[in-house]
Amino acid sequence: MGRWVEVKVRKMARYKNVEFPSEDNTLLGRIYRPEGRTRRPAVAICHGYPGDTKNMDLAEELALKGVVTLIFYYQGAWGSGGKYSLTKLETGAKDAVAYLRSLPFVDPGRIGLVSHSMGALPLSKTMSLDPTIKVGVLMSPATDTRTMSSNSNGENAKRLAAMAEGKLVGATYESLLKDLGVVSKVTNPVELVPKIRSSLMVVVGSKDNVTPPEACRKLYEAAHEPKKWVLIEGADHGFSEHRILLIKAVLDWLSECL
């Protein structure tokens, strides 16, 4: 699907819209890759909820620095096939990793995952089950899914359902309320991170009022070495005015570990 488009920014990189299978569905995404035929390290970016922050600037910069980068959308998200479910996020991440490893210009032994916000769920689950994934980056991560499902009146499910309108297929109040109960038990980042043996970085903004630094710090403390903590002063949940600092932190960590 799509064709390679050359983008000249300081040196050559290319991008292409792609599709790949996940269970009985087709997921959509975009590959950013360096020029040349050499096999390169690669990462997949697990987007947050509902996925408004695309991180395409990060993907482009990674490609310019020699890292193949896949932005992809979970089942039912942003045009991908199927119905969206919080319980299926790790399926998309696992299949994104498999897709990257199948590409002739990717070094299958040098794969990482990057996540934003709710993307911490599939990243932590996938990396806890697949020790061959060499490195993870958790940007503004969701930390404890038990707190998301703990409110008895379902306010979180109502809020998430409103955010999903026009973006996520099948994400209803009823389905999200059920999903929150499930992920609180089986896909809880703060409980999964201690099972990960690969390198992890947690990068957060000091002004993040969605996933506050103090909550993210608990996730970082639960991780094994090697690990890195980056606090970007003044940054909000999406690093909207601090993208350069965010991108530099991610590039530095991946160049060290991948």
pLDDT, residue 8, reads 45
List the beta bridge partners of residue 101: none
* Euclidean distance between CA atoms 62 and 56, whole angstroms: 10
Report the percent of the chain where pLDDT is more than 90: 90
Comparing CA positions, the residue from 102, 86, 69, 97 lying closest to residue 142 is 86
The pair of three-digit structure tokens given for residue 249, joined into one six-digit string: 């932190």
User: Of the ranges 51-60, 150-159, 223-232, which one carries the lowest mean pLDDT score?
Assistant: 150-159
At 217, the amino acid letter reads R
In this structure, are strands 25-34 and 11-22 parallel, antiparallel, or unpaired?
antiparallel
pTM: 0.94
Q: Where are the domains of the chain?
A: 5-257
* Euclidean distance between CA atoms 179 and 200, whole angstroms: 26
Comparing CA positions, the residue from 144, 97, 100, 98 lying closest to residue 120 is 144
Comparing CA positions, the residue from 101, 1, 135, 121 lying closest to residue 49 is 121
pLDDT, residue 10, reads 47
Q: Once rounded to an integer, what is the mean pLDDT over residues 236-253?
A: 98
Q: Once rounded to an integer, what is the mean pLDDT over residues 3-26?
A: 78
Confidence of residue 130 (pLDDT cuts 50, 70, 90): very high
pLDDT, residue 257, reads 97
Chain centroid, CA 108 distance in Å: 19
Of 3.40.50.1820, 3.20.20.480, 3.40.50.970, 3.90.330.10, the CATH number of 5-257 is: 3.40.50.1820
Tens of pLDDT, residues 66-124: 999 999 999 999 999 999 999 999 999 999 999 999 999 999 999 999 999 999 999 99
